[in-house]
Amino acid sequence: MIEENIALIAGEGMLPVEIAKKLHTLQPSTLIISLRSDPEVLAPYAKKLVRAKIPSLKRGLKEIKSFGANKLIMAGRIPKKIIYYLPLFLFDSHSRRIMRESLRDDHSLLGSVVKEFERENIKVIPYWQILPEFIAKTGKLSERSPTQKEFEDIEYAKKILRVTLPLSFGQAVCVADCAVVAIESMEGTDAMISRVKNLAGRGVLVKMMKEGQDMRYDLPTVGPLTLENMKSSGLTCLGIESGKTLILEPEKFFALAQKFKIAVWGI
């Protein structure tokens, strides 16, 4: 049982929902600051739910301190288009300063935000510690193992990712016949997968994590939607980095992998 107040900053996707559910079962007193379009899904798991349409570091600090929380979890997608579409004057002074001083890649921005919270004695804790059962293991994870050809594409994808990840992009890549079909940028994995359908219509998807990346936030995640999009685009194999990738809704995920005959391999 967690016997202290915890704050959760929740972006889009299933990850913050799963974290909120787990925290609720552990009986903590949870403040949830929602940056989602559907904040109501989090309401059953929060002692206090704060809705925020635009990320505001200043407001976040104020809400967390007022709630009496000294630990924070940050999880979920915040669309990068917010940074590019919205004029800076719509953001609070704290957020504007971070956007001016930081690189615009996800890791740099999140790292700067974490430092701001920790300057205020709010400890950012890893969300994988809340969901350890969701961490991918090594080797065969699905009913079907990759074919020799799929293994070759996985190995080729790993070589590509070792080059792109240090440059803070390309957390995922689609490969067919040892050729890059599509690589992830700020659009996210699902949008990247959708491009494959009109480019090759087949291949493998591999997701890995930047070496040395802070494991308190921004871990690679996959889930049922990943497999549904793969099926739609003709991708037959998924390679994910063991120990560094979260599998959301694992029961549904592996049932779909079996149904779609998609091989899932822990690298």
Distances (CA, A) of 155 to 73, 193, 240: 33, 19, 12
Domain boundary among 82, 106, 129: 129
Q: 30 and 114: one domain?
A: yes
Q: Is the pLDDT of residue 103 over 70?
A: no
Distances (CA, A) of 209 to 130, 163, 193: 19, 12, 18
Instruction: Give yes or no for a contact between 123 and 72, defined as CB atoms under 8 angstroms apart.
Output: yes
Looking up residue 262, the CATH number of its domain turns out to be 3.40.140.80
Angle at which helices 93-101 and 57-67 pack, to 10 degrees? 120
Q: 169 and 189: one domain?
A: yes
In this predicted model, what pLDDT tens digit does every residue of 35-72 receive, in sequence order? 999 999 999 999 999 999 888 888 999 999 999 999 99
Q: 261 and 137: one domain?
A: yes
Claim: this prediction has a pTM higher than 0.85 = yes
In this predicted model, what pLDDT tens digit does every residue of 114-169 receive, in sequence order? 888 999 999 999 999 899 999 999 999 999 999 999 999 999 999 999 999 988 78
Domain that holds residue 253: 132-266
Confidence of residue 262 (pLDDT cuts 50, 70, 90): very high
Q: 221 and 100: one domain?
A: no
Q: What separation, in Å, do the N-terminal and C-terminal C-alpha atoms of the chain show?
A: 33
The 3-state secondary structure of the chain reads CCCCEEEEEECECCHHHHHHHHHHHCCCEEEEEECCCCHHHHHHHCCEEEECCCCCHHHHHHHHHHHCCCEEEEECECCCHHHHHCCHHHCCHHHHHHHHHCCCCHHHHHHHHHHHHHHCCCEECCHHHCCHHHECCCEECCCCCCCHHHHHHHHHHHHHHHHHHHHCCCCEEEEECCEEEEECCCCCHHHHHHHHHHHCCCEEEEECCCCCCCCCCCCCEECHHHHHHHHHHCEEEEEECCCCCEECCHHHHHHHHHHHCCEEEEC
- Residue written as token pair 């600090």: 61
Domain boundary among 102, 129, 156: 129
How many Cα atoms occupy the beta-carbon half-sphere of 204 within 13 Å? 26
Confidence of residue 109 (pLDDT cuts 50, 70, 90): confident
Looking up residue 90, the CATH number of its domain turns out to be 3.40.50.20
Give pLDDT, residue 206: 98
Domain boundary among 97, 129, 161: 129
* Total tally of structural domains belonging to the chain: 2
- Residue written as token pair 């804790």: 125
In this predicted model, what pLDDT tens digit does every residue of 207-216 receive, in sequence order? 999 887 778 8
Q: 46 and 31: one domain?
A: yes
Q: 121 and 166: one domain?
A: no
